[in-house]
Amino acid sequence: MNLILLGPPGAGKGTQARLLVESRGLVQLSTGDMLRAAVAAGTEVGKKAKTIMDRGDLVTDEVVIGIISDRLDEPDMKGGAIFDGFPRTLAQADALAELLERKGLTLDSVIEMRSDDEVLVERVTGRFTCAGCGEGYHRSFKKPAKEGVCDKCGESKMVQRADDNEESFRTRLLNYYKDTSPLVGYYHAKGSLRSVDGTAEIDDVTKQINAVVTA
Ligand code: AP5
Ligand code: MG
Ligand code: ZN
């Protein structure tokens, strides 16, 4: 099964993708995580992407399509993937359709995670992530059982993303409406769009996703 999670910054794409990895054995393909890994590793791509990402703008289509194309060639793709944060432009959506076709893969559903701008800003500014395993947390909505310690791996170093401030968030949101939201109509026209209420609680969103992907 291949799924796309489509939604604005803070909609819960990463949170639900990680749950789908656990429940369905799918591979999470987050272009945001891949780019942050490139930044941390100091690669050429990472050096170019860093300032663009910090201010909340989109990295070029060419770069992200290249990253996804390489990743789809790896053997673990056979069991299916969850695209988290990709595609984000119409050019990326067309490129993904072509790549999947060329590799003999199909796209099953595109799940639109609908939200509310004021909910999103609170989600993004309160987020922190485990430096060990990447598990995401929130200071109000998803606290680790023991303060400052990751439930998943026991790591006690937590990090905040450089773009998780209100200014970058507003740019990310504007870019979502400008460049990414047309994909809602694009996938609706292709018959693959399913929508869920992303403002619901985490477990409830998971139930809605399970209902639409098995329907
Ligand atoms: P990316 O990393 O994809 O960031 P984003 O799209 O801005 O989305 P987020 O990761 O902020 O939100 P999310 O939906 O994953 O929310 P999460 O589950 O963490 O991209 C970053 C940058 O990389 C881009 O700005 C761009 O520069 C570049 N980039 C990436 N892909 C690109 C592409 N394809 N093309 C061009 N450039 C690209 O949840 C947020 C918080 O809320 C967490 O704290 C979580 O615990 C909490 N939470 C989640 N769900 C709920 C819920 N239901 N109720 C309460 N709290 C919740
Ligand atoms: Mg994310
Ligand atoms: Zn961890």
Q: What is the mean pLDDT of residues 169-196?
A: 98
Q: Give the confidence band of 214 by pLDDT, cuts at 50, 70, 90.
A: confident
Q: Please give the pLDDT value at position 123.
A: 97
Q: Is 208 in the pocket of ligand 1 (CB under 6 A)?
A: no
Question: Is pLDDT of 184 > 80?
Answer: yes
Q: Please give the pLDDT value at position 77.
A: 87
Atom of ligand 1 nearest to the CA of 92: 34
Query: Ligand 3 centre and the CA of 152: distance in Å?
Result: 5
Question: Is pLDDT of 96 > 80?
Answer: yes
Question: pLDDT of 2-19, one tens digit each?
Answer: 999 999 999 999 999 999
Query: Ligand 1 centre and the CA of 10: distance in Å?
Result: 5
Q: Is 58 in the pocket of ligand 1 (CB under 6 A)?
A: yes
Question: pLDDT of 189-202, one tens digit each?
Answer: 999 999 999 999 99
Question: CA nearest 105: which of 69, 140, 59?
Answer: 69
Is residue 6 helix, strand or coil? strand
Q: Please give the pLDDT value at position 79.
A: 87
Average pLDDT, the chain: 96
Query: Ligand 2 centre and the CA of 88: distance in Å?
Result: 13
Task: Specify burial of residue 191 (Cβ count, 10 A radius: 0-12, 13-18, 19+).
Answer: exposed
Is residue 205 helix, strand or coil? helix
pTM to 2 decimal places: 0.97
Question: Is pLDDT of 215 > 80?
Answer: no
Q: Which ligand is nearest to the CA of 124?
A: 1
Q: What is the mean pLDDT of residues 163-185?
A: 97
Tell me the percentage of the chain whose pLDDT exceeds 70: 100
Active site residues: 13, 88, 127, 161, 172
CA 136 to chain centre: 12
- And the tokens for 134? 């990447």
Query: Ligand 3 centre and the CA of 22: distance in Å?
Result: 15
Q: Is 134 in the pocket of ligand 1 (CB under 6 A)?
A: no
Most distant CA pair in the chain: distance in Å? 47
User: What span, in angstroms and rounded, lies between the C-alpha atoms of 196 and 205?
Assistant: 7
Q: Which ligand is nearest to the CA of 121?
A: 1
Question: pLDDT of 103-112, one tens digit each?
Answer: 999 999 999 9
Q: Please give the pLDDT value at position 92.
A: 98
Q: What is the mean pLDDT of residues 36-48?
A: 96
User: Ligand 1 pocket check: which of 13, 159, 207 to mutate, most ligand atoms within 8 Å of Cβ?
Assistant: 13
Q: Give the confidence band of 138 by pLDDT, cuts at 50, 70, 90.
A: very high
Beta pairing, strands 127-130 & 158-159 = antiparallel
Question: CA nearest 61: which of 29, 87, 35?
Answer: 87
User: What span, in angstroms and rounded, lies between the C-alpha atoms of 195 and 53?
Assistant: 27
Question: Is pLDDT of 78 > 90?
Answer: no
Q: Is 196 in the pocket of ligand 1 (CB under 6 A)?
A: no
Q: Is 35 in the pocket of ligand 1 (CB under 6 A)?
A: yes
Q: Please give the pLDDT value at position 135.
A: 95
Query: Ligand 2 centre and the CA of 120: distance in Å?
Result: 12
Q: Answer whether 29's CB lies under 8 Å from 81's CB.
A: yes
- And the tokens for 179? 């460049």
Tell me the percentage of the chain whose pLDDT exceeds 90: 96
Q: Which ligand is nearest to the CA of 15?
A: 1
